[in-house]
Structure formats: C-alpha cells, structure tokens
Structure 1
Amino acid sequence: MVHYYPYSFSSSDFPKYVLAVNETITDKNYGAWAQGTFIAQKPYRHPDTDPFSSHDFLHIEFKRSIKMSQLLVDPRWKKVIYRMWGFRRNKEKPNRSPVWKLLYVAPQSKEFATRPIKYFGSVTEIRFEFNRNFGIQCYELINFMNGELVFSIPPLDYDIPKNNWMKDEVPKLMSNMDPQEKPNTKSKGKNFFETLPTEAMYKIFNYLDLVSLSRCAQVNKRWNRIASDPLFYRDIDLKMYWTKLNSTTLKLLMKKFNRLRKLDMTVCNNPINYFGLFSEHFDIVLKRILQKSRKTLTHLCLNHTRFVNSEILDMIVACPNLQELRLQRPSVCSWTVDLSNLAMTKLKTLDVSRARITEEELIPILKNNPNLEYLSIDGCSQLGGPGRILETIVTYNRNLKAWSSWQTFQNQDNAQIYEDFGELLHLEELDLGFCEPRPYTNTCLEIIVLRCEKLKRLGLTNWNLMTDEQLLPILKEAKGLTQLNLAHMPKISASVLSQAVTSIPNLCLLDIRHCVGINKKIVEEYKKQYPNINIFHQKYLHV
C-alpha cells in the first residue's frame, strides 16, 4: 500500500502503477522557485521550520515485517531523499503503542556510497521524505521505487547502539513543565545566565524551538516561569513533530495557548490513530483549541489532516479574525458548513486544494471576505466551472493577487469566461494548468496579459492544443512575467522558446518540460546564451 502526499498518486499495485500524465504529474509545487510564489505558505514559527521543506513523503506498508541494513541510493537521488522512517507494531505486547523511528538522514557529503540504516529491528511500514527544493516528478518517483531499494535480510549478526535516536520524548518533556514540581537547581560552577536580566532571557528563548523550550523549563524555577510564558506559544508549527504529536501532547500545549495566533498541524496524523489501533481524539482537542482561541487566531493550516470534520469546519468559519486558512485535502467528506455561523471577514489567503468543496460553500466565503488576495482551488473536482466563481470574485474580491485552479476545470468549454480575469487589475499570479478551454480563442489570454499589467507568473500546463501561432502574440505582450510554465505542450516549437527569452526582459524561470516539439540541443544553446533564466526541459521517460 502506497500513500504519496500531497496528491500525486495512490496505488495498492505499486510499482505496477501505469503512468498517466493527467493524473500523476503534479509537480507544480516542486523546486525552490515554488517557495517564492505569493501563494506559498510562509513559516509560522522559524525555529520549528524544516530547512529542507520536507512536506511530501512516500509511505509504504508491508504485508509482513522486514529487516533492513542499508539504503542503496542512486547518486541523482542523494539530495532528494532526505529522511527515512520506520514504523513497528509490537504484536507480542499489543497494548504498547507503536512508534516511528528515524532510520536514515541524507548525508551532507558529495561523494556517493551506500548508507547504513540505524538498527530498529523489524518494521511494517516505512516512510521516505523528499526535499522538495529539488524538482522531482512522479514518474521519477516510480523509477526510484522500481529498484531494489529496500529489501529483507536475515537478522543482523552484530550489535548496533539502539539508544542514540531522540532520547527526549516530547510528551515527557511537556509533562515535566509543571511549575508545581521542584526543578533540579544543582549546578557546577558559576551560572552566568542567572545574572542576565529577564528581558534578555526572553530575547534568547524567542529563538528556541518547542523541544528546547521544554528542556529549559526543567532547569530551575526562573527558567520554568520564563519558558512557560504564553508569549512563546502564540505562533505554533507542529509539522516537525508529527512522529510524537498525539492528543496528550496537544493537551499539554493547549494550556499555554492563551494568545494563540498561528497554528500549523500539517500531516500531523498520529500513526496510532491513522492505522486504527487506538483512538487519540485529535478532533476533540482541536475543538477545544479553536473554542479557546477563536478571537485571537489569525492563521490556521490543517493540510492533509484526517481529523477535520464538519463540526471543526463550523468552528473555523466562526473565527472572526482569521486571515489565512489552508485546508488542503482534508478528510471531511463534504463541506456541510453552517453558513449562519460564518464570521470570517478578514481572510487574505484561502487554500482549499483537493478539498470536497462546492460552489454553494465557496461563494459565500468569497462574498464575506472582500480583502481576499490569494485563492487556491487546485483539484477541487466538485466545483462545476469557473463562471459563477469568477463573477463573484470580480464583484467582491477585486484586490485578488493570486489565483490557482490547477487541474480543477479540465472540461471547460467556454473560453470567454477567462476574459473576466482581465478585470482583476492587481493580479500577479495566474495558474490555469490543465484548465484549457475547448475550443480555444486567442482573445481570452490576450485580454489577461494586456489588462493585468502586474502579472508576474503565468501557468498554462497541459494546454496541449495551443500552437505557436496562438502563443507567440501573447508572449509579445507579457513583458512583466518572471515565471512562465508551458509544460506538456506538444504542439509548440523552438520559436516559442526564442520569443520568451528575447521579449520578456525579467524572465527568471521557463518551464517547457515534456514539450516534445523543442529539441534538447536548442535548449542547451539558449541556456548558455541566457544563464540568468532557469529553463526546465525534459522529455517523457518510459518506466
């Protein structure tokens, strides 16, 4: 069983899964350049931010336990595979909680070699985390998994230390922050920190992550008082702690959420709850957090979470000061939101990619938030068409700066509807990947590039019926573009490449992957002539 997030593919027959470009190539968020877009999420809490942006992973479940000794990594994948985790259930002691253990971390050295895996006994699931700053794609992931990457071996005949991985358990650390307990004040030598003023201590502690704060709270009474201050728990990012986060830890943190502003629980699906072994009641704890922080919460991110339900959605839309809401692919079956509780009026960012949201739920939210600037509805298959949504935005959200409907309107048959984007004069990013209207008319895109003078990023992935004659006039007018995505356009030629690099002065990135009409040698020549432009070009690989 394979689960790859955020959406790219899911198959129980992997690696026999047949590659289908329209379904599996979802690489729009890969590469360091994607992190600089307006709609990309900014870190909520820098000390707890993954420096490698390892938000995507491949999860594999085995029918029987396996044992591993080393990981064989091809040199071109050395930087892409960042971490490897192992998950083990204890069948002999079923009441004991299963745990995730870190088995492998990518080396920093440049030389290639097989890397040993930390001994963990047998595992039933493994998870590979990918560094998304490198532009990988799904067909490459399939090539990666086709090899003898992980294999069963006999029990190891040598001893490997088992106590060198994460000695500090987050729940235990959090529970030890009880100020009623007597901290250990014994120290050797002079403690220079005791002479620091409280203001300096607050400044230092502000740079610590949550685990370090928990450790500091166990030093002495003064440190405990400072480390437990709610000021350090206004902005919370829990993605890094997905292996340890459970309802108990969340309850302990909730005691400090007196002024909570930002909360990110992306992929924090407790494995115990995810595999149905124990009920951890994430939803109950989250409801208490939302109820407690309803008036102070400004940013909320629950991407790829399995505990979001209709009751939680009702509480989210009742937060009056919410400015950023990200709900990518939640587990809720439908958005049965009670619109009478809709209190959000200050939204600037709304990301509901892959959510089962309909026009009836989306349009009232758009009408109620006139200051909306960034909207992402990628892969929202239950949205009928862009007509009503665009009419609402043109009327109520004229300050919109970024629109992304990647793979949402694949059967659009009215090109004139896209002309409404020309009314959004502040538009800077427009992603219409896999949203090609049929039949296509030149006027829709020409109106957009002529009227939207601030447009910097344009995505036209898989507009496979567009030809040179239709695209060249548009490129002549799009003088302000910095990023242009023309991937999966089989009918365009090198003339488009020449026009783009010569007529767009500020162009930084040009994506022409899988454009079979453009020769690789010509691309290499333009790369040498224009080194300031990142040109992505690669033809289809057969797996």
Structure 2
Amino acid sequence: MFARNASSAATTSSSNSSGGSSTNTVSRGSGGEDVVNGSSSLSVAAAATASSSSTAGSIELLCPPSGSSSNISVSVESNNNNHNNNNNSNSNNNNHNLSLQQLNSNSNNNQNNNHTNLITGICHSIWRTATFGSATPILAPPHPTPATTSASPPAATMATLASSSSASTASSSDSSSSITPELNATATIVDHHQDHHQQNQDHQDLNEPQTFLGQTELDDELIKQLPKEVLLRVFSYLDVVSLCRCAQVCKYWNVLALDGSSWQKINLFDFQRDIEGPVIENISQRCGGFLKSLSLRGCQSVGDQSIRTLANHCHNIEHLDLSECKKITDISTQSISRYCTKLTAINLESCSNITDNSLKYISDGCSNLLEINVSWCHLISENGVEALARGCIKLRKFSSKGCKQINDNAITCLAKYCPDLMVLNLHSCETITDSSIRQLASNCPKLQKICVSKCVDLTDLSLMALSQHNQLLNTLEVSGCRNFTDIGFQALGRNCKYLERMDLEECSQITDLTLAHLATGCPSLEKLTLSHCELITDDGIRHLTTGSCAAEILSVLELDNCPLITDRTLEHLVSCHNLQRIELFDCQLISRAAIRKLKNHLPNIKVHAYFAPVTPPAVTTGNRPRYCRCCEIL
C-alpha cells in the first residue's frame, strides 16, 4: 500500500447566459491505493467550488493501476443543495436553484444525463484502456467482472516506446483544465443518482464499482472537460503497459500519458526480450530529468551507446539496475559516473565485462552511492573495491557474490573507509579469512546482514567477533562453513538477541547444543535452516521449541537430510503455532502418520518432503512405517 498527497488549484472564469461571470476553483486532493480482496483501487479527488449561483461538490474518481482487478466508481459529495440549471429545455420552472427533489422528478433531463455519462464514461475509458487497451466505454453490467492485465505487453506497446516523436509535456495553462458550470451540475446529478442507488443496493459489496450506462463513444473534446491535473494524477500510478495503451487513445491522452512526470520510475524487466537500444534512447529523451529509477534487468540487447544516451539525458537518476546486461562495459559506467552524480544505488550483477575501472569511475563521480552489487563480475578484484571504498564512504550495502578475486585486503578497505556498512554479501569469496571479518566487525558496528556462505576458511573466531561488536545483527548466512562449531554459535546466542534469519546449512560440526543456545538467546528467530546438519537430533528440536521464539515467532524450519530426525521432532513442533513451512527432504525416519498429525494441529502449515526409498518395497510386513513419498503436502 502506498499513499501520495498532492494539492493543486486552477481558477477559470466563464460567462453565463445573463452576461455575468462565475469563478470555479478546482483543487486536487489525495490519492492512494487500497488492496481489498485481491483487487486494487486508485482514488483521485477533485473538489469543485463555485460562487453562490453554482454547485459546490467533490468528485472522486477511482481508477485502477494496470495489472490488478480493480474497481471504478464516481462519487460526489454535494456541499450546496441549490443548483443552477440553465440548460433544462423541458422544464417549465424558471427558478434556477433546483432542489434535489426537483432534479429527481425531472428524469428526462437529457442534457444533465449527458454530463453524467461524460464523467462516468471517462472513468470507464481510463479503466478499459489500462486493462484492455481500448478507450471505448461499454454498457456496464450490474456486476462487472474485473479484468486483469496480461503479463505480456501488448503488440503496440513496444511501438509506442520506440516512437521517434518528440517528447510532449502537458502545460499547466492548457485550456482543457477549465471547469464549466455544466460539470458542476453534473456533480449534483451524480450525487443524487448515487444516493438513490445506495438505498437499493445495501446488500451489495461496498468494494464493487457502482455502474452507470456510458456513452458508446467519447471524443477528444468531451475528455478535455475533465481537468488534466486529475488525469495526470491517475496516469502517474500506471505502469509502462498501461501508459502506452493510454497514449494510443487520442492526441490529448497521448500528451498526458507521455508527460515526463508519469515516467519517474520505469521497470522494463517484462520487455527484456524486446528492448533494444533505440527504445532506451527514446525513453531517455522523453523522460529527461524526471526519471529517478530505471530497471533494465535482463535486457541483454542494451549496449554502451544506449547507456551513454541515458546518462546524457537523465541526470537525476538515483536507482539504476543493469543486472544481466551482458553487453555493457566500462564505457557505460564511465558515462554514468560523469553525468549521474545523484546516483545512490546501482546493480551490475552478472555484467561479465565490468572490470575494476568501472568501480574507479563510480568512486570518482558518484560520491553519494549507498548500494552497489557486483556479484558474479569475475573481473572485479581488490583494486576496484579499494577505489570504491575510498570514494564512496557513505556505502551501506555491498554485494560481491561469486567474485573469487576479492580477498582480505578488499574487505579490510571496506571496513576502514565505510563505517556505515549495514549489508555485506561475500558468498563464495573463498579466500576470505578470520582476520578481515574481525576487522570488519570492529569497524562497522551498524552491520545487520552478512553472508559468508562458502567462505570455507572461516572459523569460530569470526562468529565471536561478530557477536562482540555487531549486536544489531539480524541475518546471518554461513552455509557451507564447516569449521564452525557450537562454541561460535554459543557466543552469538549470548549477544545477538535480534537475529531473525539464520542459514546454517552444511555446518556439519554443530550439535543440539547450538539449538539450545539459539532457543534461549535469540527470541526473534523467524527462519532457521539446519539442512545437512547431520548431528542434530530430536532433543535439539525440543530445545528449540521450548524457547521464547518458537511458539509465536518461528515460521520456517528447514531440516533436509538430517538423518537422526524422527517423528518425535514433529510432535515437538506442534507447539510452534506460527510455523508456516517445514522441509523434511531425505529425513527417512519421518512417517506419513506423523506428518498428518502435525497437519491436524497446524492446518495452515506446508510440509515439503520426499523420502528414500523412492519406490516402496514390494512387500511390507509387520508395523514397518510407510514413508511419505510426496514432494509437498498441502
């Protein structure tokens, strides 16, 4: 859920039939997204306030973001029961201040009905455009079935993105933002129409859209009667697919949909197979300084020229994801560091052509950098990390998973120059030793998440250093560190009381004593992985379940290939009321009956398991338990 507040006002004047003038003030209220029963709704409020001879009301438009089953409705709150109706050709009453009762009795007011259809038709038009790619409203049934936007982009979307037309920005002085007295009269009619229907529809779900008969066709002039500020606010919540669809409706919507303010955050992962250089270059030119966040993850056709154009036009970009963009090289990062000085986060994961020069460029031009990911960039070494640490002293997150050239010197530089480091991923950096981890622990007291999985040379000295200096630690991943013993985890359990997630897979030397220490010292433990810890027994699980974390906190427990675990373990886990998932792959001493019993006590739990022998023996005799052979029990 997110909420955004904005306030804007536009004042326009129009002459009435008597030669006088009336002033209408339009203010835009707050917009937010509410998720109810799996569907989303976006609300944008526009309050129309007129002079004493006009109608004052509040128009609320509910328009869904793309990709969700959403509702559209129009609701109006009337602030004045006296309404000026100058267009009622069938009325014999010369009094321009019509009451709601008079409006109700005059059901043949075709002009006002047209205005009602105008507002509701626009709402349906926006909704249908975002979901179906069509702007023509239809006769809405009493209970319309919401449609969900397809995950695959429409055929015309990429054509819209690749269009070479110049950027179109909506001007705040456009005449389409004016509000006519007819629109105010429309607000009154819609208000009364809704009140009348509400009395007859109390049994309906309040979250369902109130439906009206829309026009069979809307032209550009009618759409322009809705303030462009409202449309811009609606468009700002749409994703790339929906914006491109709206841009194809008409010229006016094209101008609004392609306004740079609606393109501050772009994620093109769904288009990764279609995105090519010209598309990125066109987006860069359209968005310009508005763009703050861009994800090109997996767009393998994007090269240095596209990134250079992006950097030249989008100087305000803060978050940039280039992971798995195989074609980019140090030339791209050089352009980024030169023009994108506000950059705070960059992801270069699996960019195999990136070298130490890229880190040097970034350190020179992006001093505000907070996050960087160079995982699986095999050409990165200690020289690049040292340059990065010296230039980006505000760094908080660093990930170098799979970078085998990173050694103790690189980690020591991070510890020396980046004291605010909070997240560190050194997975598979096999040359890391206790000395650098101890230096890191003492110099970076804010460290909260650390992954040293597959760092096979680490010992209990690293765990003791972390427990002594990093008491805010909440995530620890040490999978494959076979030198860790109960001594190191005893120190963690004594000092690190905020641990929530621990991955101890293949820590083959730990015993039930480790679980006893964690049960008493880590009351916030939510997820624990003990797979391939072959010395763990039922007693260790019993210690864990009697701890303060087990009953209400522990939600995930992984016990794959723990050969000493039996049905007694599942009996102990019955007291873990919040347990949502347990993995028991290759635990041969667990029976089907025990799993069913656990399921009876914890009906929402998911048990993932399969057991040898995969094929049961031809003849089973005596009381031999039947092993569970399914991969998932729901």
Q: For 1:229 and 1:499, how far apart are their aligned partners in 2?
A: 60
Task: State whether residues 334 and 358 of structure 2, in contact with CA within 8 Å, keep that contact through their aligned partners in structure 1.
Answer: no
Q: How far apart are 1:482 and its partner, in Å?
A: 1.8
Q: For 2:256 and 2:362, how far apart are their aligned partners in 1?
A: 31
Residue of structure 2 equivalent to 1:416: 461
Q: Which amino acid aligns with 2:368?
A: N
Q: Counterparts in 2 of 1:52-451, with a 5 A limit?
A: 168=155, 171-176=158-163, 178-179=165-166, 188-191=217-220, 193-255=223-285, 256-270=287-301, 282-283=328-329, 286-287=332-333, 290-291=336-337, 293-318=339-364, 319-330=366-377, 332=379, 334=381, 336-337=383-384, 339=386, 342-356=390-404, 357-381=406-430, 383-395=431-443, 397-407=444-454, 409-412=455-458, 414-422=459-467, 423-437=469-483, 440=485, 442-451=486-495
> Does residue 1:463 correspond to 2:492, yes or no?
no
Q: Which amino acid aligns with 2:462?
A: I
Q: For 1:283 and 1:224, how far apart are their aligned partners in 2?
A: 35
Q: How far apart are 1:490 and its partner, in Å?
A: 0.8
How big is the alpha-carbon RMSD for the aligned residues of Structure 1 and Structure 2? 3.7
Going from structure 1 to structure 2, the CA distance change for 1:426 and 1:308 (only over 3 Å counts) comes to: same
Q: How far apart are 1:524 and its partner, in Å?
A: 4.0
> Does residue 1:478 correspond to 2:465, yes or no?
no
1:374-424 CA-partner distances (Å, limit 9, x unpaired) = 11111223x4314213313421x21111111122x2133x42232111111
Q: How far apart are 1:227 and its partner, in Å?
A: 3.4
Q: For 1:462 and 1:280, how far apart are their aligned partners in 2?
A: 33
Residue of structure 2 equivalent to 1:110: none
Q: For 1:338 and 1:492, how far apart are their aligned partners in 2?
A: 39
Q: How far apart are 1:195 and its partner, in Å?
A: 2.8
Going from structure 1 to structure 2, the CA distance change for 1:204 and 1:251 (only over 3 Å counts) comes to: same
Q: How far apart are 1:528 and its partner, in Å?
A: 4.5
Residue of structure 1 equivalent to 2:545: 501
The answer for unaligned runs of 5 or more in structure 1 is 1-46, 51-163, 182-186, 274-278
Question: Which of the pair has the greater relative contact order for Cα pairs under 8 Å at 6+ separation?
Answer: 1
Q: For 1:172 and 1:258, how far apart are their aligned partners in 2?
A: 23
Q: How far apart are 1:292 and its partner, in Å?
A: 6.0
Task: State whether residues 424 and 450 of structure 2, in contact with CA within 8 Å, keep that contact through their aligned partners in structure 1.
Answer: yes
Task: State whether residues 434 and 462 of structure 1, in contact with CA within 8 Å, keep that contact through their aligned partners in structure 2.
Answer: yes
The structure carrying a bigger helix percent of its residues is 2
Q: How far apart are 1:219 and its partner, in Å?
A: 4.3
Q: How far apart are 1:499 and its partner, in Å?
A: 1.4
Q: For 2:445 and 2:475, how far apart are their aligned partners in 1?
A: 14
Q: For 2:297 and 2:239, how far apart are their aligned partners in 1?
A: 17
Task: State whether residues 475 and 500 of structure 2, in contact with CA within 8 Å, keep that contact through their aligned partners in structure 1.
Answer: yes
1:496-526 CA-partner distances (Å, limit 9, x unpaired) = 111112213322222212111102x334434
Task: State whether residues 457 and 481 of structure 2, in contact with CA within 8 Å, keep that contact through their aligned partners in structure 1.
Answer: yes
Aligned sequence identity (%):
19
Going from structure 1 to structure 2, the CA distance change for 1:214 and 1:294 (only over 3 Å counts) comes to: same
Q: For 2:497 and 2:569, how far apart are their aligned partners in 1?
A: 28
Going from structure 1 to structure 2, the CA distance change for 1:218 and 1:307 (only over 3 Å counts) comes to: farther
Q: Secondary structure at the match of 1:249?
A: helix
Structure 1 or 2, whichever has the larger Rg, is 2
1:118-144 CA-partner distances (Å, limit 9, x unpaired) = xxxxxxxxxxxxxxxxxxxxxxxxxxx
Q: Secondary structure at the match of 1:325?
A: strand
Q: What is the number of equivalent residue pairs in this alignment? A: 369
Residue of structure 2 equivalent to 1:57: none
Q: Which amino acid aligns with 1:216?
A: C
Going from structure 1 to structure 2, the CA distance change for 1:238 and 1:492 (only over 3 Å counts) comes to: same
The answer for unaligned runs of 5 or more in structure 2 is 1-64, 69-150, 169-215, 305-324, 588-610, 615-634
